[in-house]
Copies of this chain bind each other. A is one copy, B any other.
């Protein structure tokens, strides 16, 4: 061990959640030294950069509604008031639903809860949808293939106007810049945390410490070359969390799965461009982030590159991994061709023949109730399990971690609403379970 350094706080992970957390911690504890470390060569290069980078407040859980609605309002605030361009496009979210889905009690409850929370949405029937999106196929009559594929015909659409898409690297830049302005310690990239320093408290320097009868606390982290010591270690490590917590015997209750995105270019393809620049949902001529009724397939517009990002919510059939593996980095073309494309082309025949120009994969870290975790243990804090919605929850969960750190019973989210600081904890968890998961 060549050397030791000491800080008040070490934040492990410079994805959007780690960055936002470092920022609020530093903002509200200006005298604390905060070291931000990430294994990658720059901020936001992990799963933040790999995500679909869409934000929605259309959740069924009031917990998720509060986390996302306030975070999205802060995103708007960054762009509109602070004039920091995130290329945030309020193109909305459009859930295409079959008749069976639309009348299902869970969807009714979802709509009721959105109304109760003041989350805006509009319901469209298929005739209205067809008028706005002429290329949408709402008629599978006599289509034996569609039947064989278990595809449910579109009968309704739920549109949420306060949702949208953005460039995640710009949101990363914002939090990094704000943190760097305040912090006395330069963030460190390309430094992999190998393990947590779980130590006896007090240390007696006996063999095998910490022993079962000793109090234990995390006093920092180990890298390949150094011990970085801190009073508090914050893990914002998402799909890598188990690699650090399992060895100290703490169950994160989260688990990772691979997700993939495929880029379809629309440039010079008139029918695809018409779909991309759909008018009628919002003031912006853009198709919303669109979720198909079946098989978990969705796409989002990417207006700057004149195209679509197409993805799929993998359920049973896609392996869970203990932690993210290297295989996550590469997308599988056969998966696009055999699984995603046939579904996409049924609902939107304008995609017929479309081949991805680009693709990538990343890790999606599930929590059992699809609500993030944020809690404080002895010497460490954890913020993870954002379950594919790190970008749209980062601002709120970061404020909650900061409130927990400062021992505040409540966190004030952007816009003034409050949440108990321990609501997202493991032991005193008080959340409404989510049912609307992509």
Chain B residues positioned under 8 Å from A342 (CB to CB): 211, 213
**Is the beta-carbon distance between B338 and A216 smaller than 8 angstroms?**
no
A164-180 vs B, CB cutoff 8 Å, 1 = contact: the mask equals: 00000000000000000
CA–CA, A216 and B315, complex, Å:
10
CA–CA, A93 and B250, complex, Å:
28
**Is the beta-carbon distance between B212 and A317 smaller than 8 angstroms?**
yes
The smallest beta-carbon distance between A373 and chain B, in angstroms, is 12
The smallest beta-carbon distance between A332 and chain B, in angstroms, is 9
Q: Which of B151, B207, B212, B242 contacts A340 (CB 8 A)?
A: B212
**Is the beta-carbon distance between B198 and A317 smaller than 8 angstroms?**
yes
A295 touches B (CB below 8 Å): yes
Which residues 272-326 in A have Cβ within 8 Å of B in the complex?
294-297, 312, 314-322
A150 touches B (CB below 8 Å): yes
The dominant DSSP class at the A interface is loop
**Is the beta-carbon distance between A246 and B343 smaller than 8 angstroms?**
no
Which residues 244-259 in A have Cβ within 8 Å of B in the complex?
245-251, 253, 255, 257
**Is the beta-carbon distance between B212 and A320 smaller than 8 angstroms?**
no
**Is the beta-carbon distance between B314 and A150 smaller than 8 angstroms?**
no
**Is the beta-carbon distance between B253 and A213 smaller than 8 angstroms?**
no
A368 touches B (CB below 8 Å): yes
The smallest beta-carbon distance between A237 and chain B, in angstroms, is 16
Chain B residues positioned under 8 Å from A320 (CB to CB): 242, 245-246, 249-251
Chain B residues positioned under 8 Å from A316 (CB to CB): 198, 216, 248-250, 378
Which of chain B's residues has its CB closest to A151's CB? B213
**Is the beta-carbon distance between B212 and A322 smaller than 8 angstroms?**
no
CA–CA, A207 and B148, complex, Å:
16
Chain B residues positioned under 8 Å from A366 (CB to CB): 251
Chain B residues positioned under 8 Å from A211 (CB to CB): 338-339, 342
The smallest beta-carbon distance between A52 and chain B, in angstroms, is 16
Which of chain B's residues has its CB closest to A313's CB? B212
Q: Which of B206, B210, B250, B338 contacts A206 (CB 8 A)?
A: B338
Central interface residue in A148, A242, A255, A316, by most chain B CB within 10 Å: A316
Given contacts A248-B317, A249-B316, A295 and B213 within 8 Å (CB-CB): yes
CA–CA, A318 and B248, complex, Å:
6
Residue pairs across A and B with Cβ atoms less than 8 A apart, 7 shown, are A198-B316, A206-B338, A207-B334, A208-B338, A249-B257, A249-B315, A251-B366
Given contacts A150-B215, A246-B322, A248-B316, 11 further A-B contacts (CB under 8 A): A206-B338, A208-B335, A208-B339, A212-B314, A212-B317, A245-B320, A246-B255, A249-B315, A249-B316, A253-B253, A368-B368
For the complex of A and B, the 9 pairs showing the least CB-CB separation, nearest first, are A213-B295, A322-B322, A212-B339, A246-B320, A149-B213, A249-B318, A211-B339, A208-B338, A212-B295
